[in-house]
A and B are shown apart, each in its own frame.
Chain A
Amino acid sequence: MTDSIHDMGGMDGFGKVEPEPNEPPFHQPWEGRVLAMQRAMGYAGAWNIDMSRAAQELLPPQVYVSVSYYKRWALGIEHNLLKQGLADAGEIAAGHAKTSAKPLKRKLTSEKIAAVMTRGSYGRPAPVPARFKPGDRVRTKNIHPQTHTRLPRYVRGHVGTVELVHGCHVFPDTSAVGHGENPQWLYTVVFDGRELWGADADPTIKVSIDAFEPYLEAP
């Protein structure tokens, strides 16, 4: 979903940032297992990174803000297992497989883990020339898709400047719903803080997002 709780930029009321001194990589042993399961299932082709984000965005807001980061991941994995027909709710509740497995593309074994310790590449050959270039003024569209998007609410309908062109990348909006990679040009677009937060905002602040071309129009 697009306008859900995960899209937090600019919200008030969450309080102070509280750094934890000497924080360990994991606070509980199960957190590491969840992270590793997510990597292994991604490698297996069970779902992609956009689908794993989209699953977490479907969590009810009160759940999303009250559970830990890795619990959100675990809930997202459970959601995607059911959605992809890879396990059923009875199996997840019982902790044992009762039905036959669905074939996956491949399986992550110990010799292969280097493949998941480096981020994948999302750059793709460009099907069409870029519409914008550095220095161009652009407006982000005021859109509210009912499915996954990476255009945050706080920038929608605002005018910024193209600063970087990153090439063509996998488009999360289609990738998340199984409609393919549909590569789109990706730009860093920078906004003046006052454009986003009003005339009395701090004039020394600039904020950028990475915006796919379908999010942008001429101002």
Chain B
Amino acid sequence: MQLRVRALETVLSEKGYIDPAALDLIVEAYETRIGPQSGARVVAKAWTDPEFKSRLLADGTAAVRSLGYENPVGDHLVVVENTDRVHNMVVCTLCSCYPWEMLGLPPVWYKSAPYRSRAVKDPRGVLRDFGITLPQTTEIRVWDSTAETRYLVLPMRPPGTSGLSADELAALVTRDSMIGTGFPKSAERA
């Protein structure tokens, strides 16, 4: 595949459609800068700032933009809050839509047939694949990203974290907890 893709890139470059140097910078950005740390900072901010949290839940894009991140978030970001009563989970059954400005590139499992096929029909079974069992009384809400809206889960703040700074809290926020297939790390195990 390496050769086939190099051939493709050569054709596009010789035709003048693309500039390989620009491609280098895109790849570098994903390898070095764009990842779930952005989403984690947003979550930690929401845990520590109730006013920000209410703005975040009302308009995810506007609230995240107000933080002035280097890589701005696109339009139509919707943040959904986990509570004792409702657990949110995000999938894209038709392709692999994912809030990559907040979380980086989607992991292989998110793009895989097992996740895309089962998340909407057997979310509890999918969560078991991640080692998670939720109480049978918890409502599971699955968001299938079928348009250009993007969903980010605001996980519940772990207990015993009241003295932690926003940076320390952000370190507890995992990628999977913002997709809904995991929980933040506990304060003791961080």
Contact = CB atoms under 8 A, between A and B. Distances in A.
Contacts of B2: 28-30
Contacts, number: 269
A166 B149 contact: yes
A200 B16 CA distance: 58
A59 interface: no
Contacts of B101: 117-119
Given A41-B12, A117-B71, A186-B149, A32 B30 contact: yes
Interface in A1-50: 6-12, 14-20, 23, 25-30, 32-37, 39-41, 44, 46, 49
B26 A116 contact: yes
A169 B146 CA distance: 12
A78 interface: yes
Interface string A84-101: 001100011111110001
Contact of B78 (A39, A107, A121, A164): A164
A123 to B, nearest CB: 6
Contact of A17 (B9, B76, B109): B109
Contacts of A107: 16-19
B126 interface: yes
Nearest to A184: B147
Contacts of B19: 40, 107-110
B36 to A, nearest CB: 11
B1 A108 contact: no
B104 interface: yes
A202 B113 CA distance: 22
Contacts of A17: 109, 112, 114-115, 118, 126, 129-130, 181
A29 B149 CA distance: 29
What DSSP secondary structure best describes chain B's contact surface? mixed
Interface string A106-134: 01111011001111111100000000000
Contacts of B10: 95-97
A159 to B, nearest CB: 16
A32 B1 CA distance: 12
Contacts of B116: 8-9
A19 B136 CA distance: 24
Given A71-B1, A118-B101, A152-B146, A113 B26 contact: yes
Interface of A: 6-12, 14-20, 23, 25-30, 32-37, 39-41, 44, 46, 49, 53, 56, 65, 69, 71, 74, 77-78, 81, 86-87, 91-97, 101, 104, 107-110, 112-113, 116-123, 150-152, 154, 164, 166, 169-170, 172, 186, 188, 190, 196-197, 202, 204-212
Interface of B: 1-2, 4-12, 14-19, 21-27, 29-31, 34-35, 71-76, 78, 91, 93-96, 100-101, 104-105, 107-109, 111-121, 123-124, 126, 129-130, 136-150, 176, 181
5 contacts: A14-B112, A20-B108, A117-B101, A154-B121, A169-B147
